[in-house]
Amino acid sequence: MRRPSRQGLIPVCKPGTDTIAAKINSQEKPISVAASLSSLLLFLILPALAVTSHAQGLKQEIAQYFNQVRQGNYPFTPRTLSSAPHEEETLKILQSFLIDSSSAVRDKAYELVYAVASGSENSLLRNEGVVILLRACNDHDPGIRATALDLLTEFHRVDYNLAARDSLRKLIRSKVSPLDRLLKLAGFLHLTDLLPDIQPLAQRGNPFRLRWSALQSLARMGQPAAIRGVMKQVERLPVNDDLVYKIFPDLIFTRQREPIAYVVEALQSDLKNCLSADVERELPIPCGYRIMEQLAPVIENFPLKLGESGDMKTDDYPAALDTVRQWFRIHQRYTILNDSY
């Protein structure tokens, strides 16, 4: 609505007039106080009515979305739900769906929480999203717990406030499943007060998956014995597709110099121990093509960029690999980025 003219609220003095009385004497119509107040009230009330109307529309849109989910459909997430003007209101509306009796509804509700929080420029809202997703790690549905942990790895360390870190401590000390993934999250956040809880899990006698995750967590926190334990497991294995796809991401997760240097060394090898991604025509290729894509997000000033799909932005992969190899030869004191999972 157009803002009312200030002349409709306060009389304005003009040249040739001295007082309000002069206006009356010249037969000008006096200003109506009631009319002025009405204009002011409309100016104040209409925006509030518009906000209320918008909130109701948002609730309806979210309700329609989850009605589709209940029916077993997989609707596209409306973009308006995660747009900046609607972020806080959307999180409030989602609260009731997070405790819904339907696991499908809860799962999609947590995904919407992630979409809203991860895309927000509001740090407090990002903090709130992380806390909500950690709450999902207590859900009785293992699929929802797994989804929540996947989404939590997409946030940066600064997005975890004190409440979130305390929640993670409680989950680990309660040995909530999947404990192995929670341990890695603790390592990412450098929760060193959990060392007495994690160190026994890295010892022989525990299931290998749990022990391996505990070693990675401790290594991420800079524990020398854990770094040696990680390298001892890896150095005996041949460099091939299995090692590159399954183990190298774990070495990179540690963000420690020795494991990442081992990955960089494998990058420099010309041995064709890996296979091309074309399943119809698999050809032996150097493992460096996949390795450079793994290293790109964690090395400061990496010479090439990744696309949204995770592939290197290049039309010439051999030339790109040569560029990356040369860069590492020149920048042997590269900086490892540590703020992301």
At 59-101, the pLDDT tens digits run: 899 999 999 999 999 888 776 665 667 899 999 999 999 999 9
C-alpha 191/C-alpha 218 separation (Å) is 10
Six-digit token pair at 324? 């990356």
First-last CA distance in the chain: 48
Q: What percentage of the chain carries pLDDT values higher than 70?
A: 82
Any idea which residue has 């990356």 for tokens?
A: 324
pLDDT tens digits along 32-55? 555 565 555 455 554 444 445 556
Residue 4: is its pLDDT beyond 70? Answer: no
Inform me whether the pLDDT recorded for 141 exceeds 90. Answer: yes
Q: How far apart are CA 294 and CA 244, in angstroms?
A: 9
Q: Is the pLDDT of residue 24 over 60?
A: no
Least confident residue range of 82-96, 286-300, 315-329: 82-96
- CB neighbours of 111 closer than 8 A, spacing ≥ 6? 77, 147, 151
The answer to whether 39 touches 8, Cβ cutoff 8 Å, is yes
* Nearest one of 202, 151, 205 to 179, comparing CA atoms: 202
Spatial CA neighbour of 189 closest among 211, 167, 212? 167
